[in-house]
């Protein structure tokens, strides 16, 4: 195991290995703690301690409760049906908690009460100067994500190709021919001819794939003919629905052609082989029609991973291999439904239950502990010390901070520290890198006394700040922190008085993407309203979440000289852009919320006569510019600089986060969970892929 210096043999597993310090309580850190604390863990380790700044856990998945118990999220949190590792862990957690027996007053007892399948998808599609909404959905199946005993590895690259080909064939069979009476026999004959070429080419390739595959290159001639026919159809077709169909065929067929042309089925690198190229450039190189680049599904893919350099929507950037892997798994391996939505906040139904179960197991949590620096030992081979700023002291008699409150019987995180548990008021914004640091104490944790092993589960943005000694010492750390990119994000939530149907929207629970920047993604979230505590006679009927990338570069020396001004300017920009979006664009989804003067601000709960930015400030606005909040991107050329969880290069240091090389190398919950489990595997002397589910390139 590179970089660990641990014995994987039986003796190494049975001998106690001291204490573990997990730095960061986001999904990666909690996942590492989950696997490390499985039954019998005290026979291996003295202690497992999670160090977390501020008063709550969750990282970019955190949420808390505000006025009227309203759910306030970091952004839009929706799980995909292909998140098998994340679902497996949370299902284990709910079984272990057994709330039906241990906490019957809690309204959520099981994972399937915490999550509901969501079938409604939408894509915003631009046609000339107009925008249309393309509603749809993917059919449910009889599977469930995270089933006990499943591996998810039944899916192969060849299966991926076959499924993509069959999808093209099904679509070709579903397109009705033009009405010869209305459009003339020529249009009907041409469409029939193009469709026949598509069917013939796809069937020929499926026949080829039915044979045993060797190392030799498969002929791509049939795919070339198919793409030529699709291009002819697109140059002729101008009806929005039919043009959308042909663009999808062009996208899928070019993808198939590229996989075959570059031998990705037999290349041992798999999809990694094309990660130095942007996805759009790659599909164009393999014959996609030029208009595919602006196809709403392609825009939606980039939107979902915030795939824009420095938040600049004119500079899309997404590694081609990552794009193929993620879309293939999402489309062809989802369980139950394509999306699963939480019935309350992610902090409520994921983070709080994990915290409760981990505490029962004996995992310790040190809140109000901000990691400031990792220090190498004298030999520069291990982490010898960790400097931590202690942000607050506990009140006299308090042995540990209890972070949860109850809203409607559900254990949740509040949106501020619980003052009665602290010795004096909590100073400033404890979750901001830019806030005042009036710490009550500087703690230095020392190897052999306070810890023996370290799991660095901070976000990538914080790694650059706390791992200065490692970056100076190691070329691979310098390469990683230089070449991996992050982007700021922004989000806001609205609570409205009218229901969606009255506002003009007839697809409740939809999640849409591909719309105008910077708030390109919108989700209808009515399934969460039950969990909030509004007055019985005055309750919102609609709650809407909006998010997108934020063009806020990493703060420079001038910004850091006046961090308050930097934070204020970023927030002002988000508010200004959000107001413009609501005035000019939200009418595509909610026409009843817009008047001739712009957005109907009186529809917002709590607006109290305010308009514009002042009204928006009464809702929940999240400006995610903090280093710990920045989203990890998968830009072309960056994948090769990621380090595996067991590749820190230092004897007692493991890595956990969606910035590591987990095999699912994108910013998402599944990647964070996988990385945390992999870090735990290394400490336990197990293989990197031990009990890791799914078709990933481990």
Going from N- to C-terminal start, the domains of the chain cover: 10-109+343-484+641-683, 156-332, 486-624
**Average pLDDT, stretch 625-643?**
96
Question: Is residue 52 predicted with pLDDT exceeding 80?
Answer: yes
Question: Is residue 343 predicted with pLDDT exceeding 90?
Answer: yes
pLDDT digits (tens, 9 = 90+) for 354-409: 999 999 999 999 999 999 999 999 999 999 999 999 999 999 999 999 999 999 99
| pLDDT confidence of residue 656 | 98
Q: 534 CB contacts (<8 Å, ≥6 apart)?
A: 68, 69, 70, 540, 605
Place of tokens 């590694």: 319
Question: Where residue 1 falls among pLDDT bands split at 50, 70, 90?
Answer: very low
Could you give the CA distance from residue 667 to residue 485 in angstroms, rounded to a whole number?
11
Give the dihedral of Cα atoms 166, 167, 171, 172; nearest 10 deg: -30
Place of tokens 């999550």: 115
**Average pLDDT, stretch 95-124?**
95
**Average pLDDT, stretch 146-154?**
79
Could you give the CA distance from residue 637 to residue 317 in angstroms, rounded to a whole number?
10
Could you give the CA distance from residue 591 to residue 505 in angstroms, rounded to a whole number?
8
**Average pLDDT, stretch 652-670?**
96
| pLDDT confidence of residue 157 | 65
Q: 524 CB contacts (<8 Å, ≥6 apart)?
A: 120, 500, 505, 507, 508, 509, 510, 511, 542, 544
Beta-sheet strands, E only, within 358-485:
364-366, 369-376, 383-390, 405-407, 410-412, 441-446, 453-456
Could you give the CA distance from residue 561 to residue 434 in angstroms, rounded to a whole number?
10
| pLDDT confidence of residue 153 | 63
Closest C-alpha among 280, 274, 262 to residue 322: 274
Question: Is residue 130 predicted with pLDDT exceeding 70?
Answer: yes
pTM of the model: 0.93
According to the per-residue pLDDT averaged within each range, which of 117-126, 143-152, 200-209, 501-510 is highest?
501-510
Question: Is residue 9 predicted with pLDDT exceeding 80?
Answer: no
| pLDDT confidence of residue 49 | 98
Question: Is residue 506 predicted with pLDDT exceeding 80?
Answer: yes
Cβ distance 287 to 227 under 8 Å?
yes
**Average pLDDT, stretch 658-683?**
96
**Average pLDDT, stretch 434-462?**
95
Which of 5-19, 62-76, 90-104, 632-646 has the least mean pLDDT?
Answer: 5-19
Closest C-alpha among 365, 311, 389 to residue 623: 311
Query: In 3-state terms, what secondary structure has residue 573?
Result: helix
Closest C-alpha among 486, 444, 442, 446 to residue 464: 486
Question: Is residue 658 predicted with pLDDT exceeding 50?
Answer: yes
Q: Can you name the CATH fold of 10-109+343-484+641-683?
A: FAD/NAD(P)-binding domain (3.50.50)
pLDDT digits (tens, 9 = 90+) for 253-288: 888 889 888 888 788 888 999 999 999 999 999 999
| pLDDT confidence of residue 584 | 96
Question: Is residue 177 predicted with pLDDT exceeding 80?
Answer: no
Cβ distance 612 to 624 under 8 Å?
no
**Average pLDDT, stretch 498-523?**
94
Using only C-alpha atoms, the chain has a radius of gyration, in whole angstroms, of 26
Give the residue ranges of DSSP H helices in 237-319.
240-261, 279-285, 296-304
pLDDT digits (tens, 9 = 90+) for 420-447: 999 988 888 899 999 888 899 999 999 9
Q: Give the pair of three-digit tokens for residue 346.
A: 């992610």
| pLDDT confidence of residue 5 | 40
Question: Is residue 198 predicted with pLDDT exceeding 80?
Answer: no
% of the chain exceeding 70 in pLDDT: 92
Parallel, antiparallel or unpaired: strands 383-390 and 71-73: unpaired
| pLDDT confidence of residue 621 | 97
Query: Burial of 215 by CB count in 10 Å (0-12 exposed, 13-18 middle, 19+ buried)?
Result: exposed
| pLDDT confidence of residue 181 | 46
| pLDDT confidence of residue 23 | 98
pLDDT digits (tens, 9 = 90+) for 222-259: 777 777 887 877 777 677 777 888 888 888 888 888 98
pLDDT digits (tens, 9 = 90+) for 547-586: 999 999 888 777 788 899 999 999 999 999 999 999 999 9
User: First-to-last CA distance in the chain?
Assistant: 14
**Average pLDDT, stretch 622-650?**
97
**Average pLDDT, stretch 455-468?**
96
| pLDDT confidence of residue 175 | 59
Question: Is residue 525 predicted with pLDDT exceeding 90?
Answer: yes
| C-alpha 236: how far from chain center | 39
Length of the chain: 698
**Residue-averaged pLDDT of the chain:** 89
CB atoms within 10 A of CB 174: 8
């Amino acid at each position: 195991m590179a970089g660990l210096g641990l014995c994987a043999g039986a003796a190494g597993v049975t001998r106690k290995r001291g204490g573990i310090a997990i730095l960061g309580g986001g999904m990666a850190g909690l996942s590492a703690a989950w696997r490390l604390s499985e039954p019998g863990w005290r026979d291996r380790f003295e202690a497992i301690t999670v160090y977390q700044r501020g008063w709550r856990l969750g990282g970019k998945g955190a949420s808390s409760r505000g006025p009227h118990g309203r759910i306030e999220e970091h952004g839009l949190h929706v799980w995909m049906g292909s998140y098998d590792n994340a679902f497996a862990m949370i299902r284990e957690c709910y079984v272990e908690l057994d709330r039906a027996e241990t906490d019957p007053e809690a309204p959520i007892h099981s994972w399937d009460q915490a999550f509901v399948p969501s079938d409604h998808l939408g894509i915003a599609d631009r046609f000339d100067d107009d925008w249309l909404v393309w509603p749809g959905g993917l059919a449910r199946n009889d599977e469930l994500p995270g089933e006990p005993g499943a591996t998810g590895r039944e899916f192969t690259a060849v299966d991926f190709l076959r499924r993509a080909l069959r999808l093209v064939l099904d679509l070709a069979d579903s397109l009705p021919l033009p009405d010869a009476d209305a459009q003339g026999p020529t249009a009907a004959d041409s469409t029939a001819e193009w469709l026949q070429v598509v069917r013939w080419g796809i069937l020929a390739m499926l026949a080829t794939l039915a044979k045993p595959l060797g190392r030799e290159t498969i002929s791509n001639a049939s795919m070339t003919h198919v793409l030529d026919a699709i291009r002819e159809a697109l140059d002729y077709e101008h009806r929005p629905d039919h043009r959308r169909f042909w663009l999808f065929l062009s996208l899928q067929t070019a993808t198939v052609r590229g996989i075959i042309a570059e031998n990705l089925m037999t290349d041992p690198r798999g999809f990694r082989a094309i990660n130095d190229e942007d996805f759009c450039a790659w599909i164009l190189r393999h014959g996609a029609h030029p208009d595919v680049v602006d196809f709403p599904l392609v825009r939606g893919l980039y939107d979902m991973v915030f795939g824009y350099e420095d938040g600049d929507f004119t500079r899309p950037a997404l590694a081609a291999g990552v794009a193929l892997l993620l879309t293939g798994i999402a489309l062809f391996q989802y369980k139950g439904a394509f999306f699963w939505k939480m019935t309350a906040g992610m902090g409520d139904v994921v983070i709080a239950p994990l915290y409760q179960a981990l505490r029962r197991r004996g995992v310790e949590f040190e809140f109000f502990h901000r990691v400031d620096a990792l220090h190498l030992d004298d030999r520069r081979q291990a982490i010898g010390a960790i400097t931590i700023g202690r942000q607050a002291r506990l009140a006299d008699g308090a042995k540990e901070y209890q972070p949860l409150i109850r809203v409607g019987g559900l254990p949740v995180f509040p949106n501020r520290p619980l003052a009665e548990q602290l010795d004096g008021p909590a100073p400033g914004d404890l979750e901001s890198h830019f806030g005042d640091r009036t710490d009550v104490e500087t703690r230095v944790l020392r190897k052999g006394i306070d810890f023996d092993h370290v799991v660095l589960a901070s976000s990538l943005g914080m790694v650059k700040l706390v791992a200065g000694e490692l970056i100076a010492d190691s070329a691979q750390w310098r390469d990683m922190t230089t070449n991996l990119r992050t982007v700021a994000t922004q989000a806001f939530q609205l609570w409205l008085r009218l229901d969606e149907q009255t506002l003009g929207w007839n697809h409740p629970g939809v999640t849409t993407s591909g719309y105008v920047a910077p708030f390109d993604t919108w989700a209808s979230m009515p399934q969460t309203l039950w969990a909030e505590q509004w007055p019985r006679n005055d309750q919102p009927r609609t709650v809407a979440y909006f998010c997108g990338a934020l063009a806020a570069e990493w703060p420079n020396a001038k910004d850091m000289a006046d961090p308050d001004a930097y934070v204020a300017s970023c927030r002002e920009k988000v508010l200004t852009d959000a107001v413009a979006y609501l005035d000019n664009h939200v009418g595509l989804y909610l026409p009843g919320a817009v008047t001739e003067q712009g957005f109907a601000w009186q529809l917002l709960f709590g607006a109290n006569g305010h308009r514009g930015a002042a009204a928006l400030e009464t809702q929940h606005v999240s400006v995610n510019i903090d280093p710990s909040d920045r989203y990890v991107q998968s830009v072309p050329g960056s994948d090769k600089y990621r380090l595996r969880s067991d590749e820190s290069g230092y004897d007692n240091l493991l890595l956990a986060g969606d910035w590591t090389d987990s095999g699912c190398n994108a910013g998402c919950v599944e990647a964070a969970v996988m990385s945390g489990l992999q870090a735990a595997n290394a400490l336990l002397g197990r293989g990197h892929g031990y009990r890791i589910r799914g078709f990933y390139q481990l």
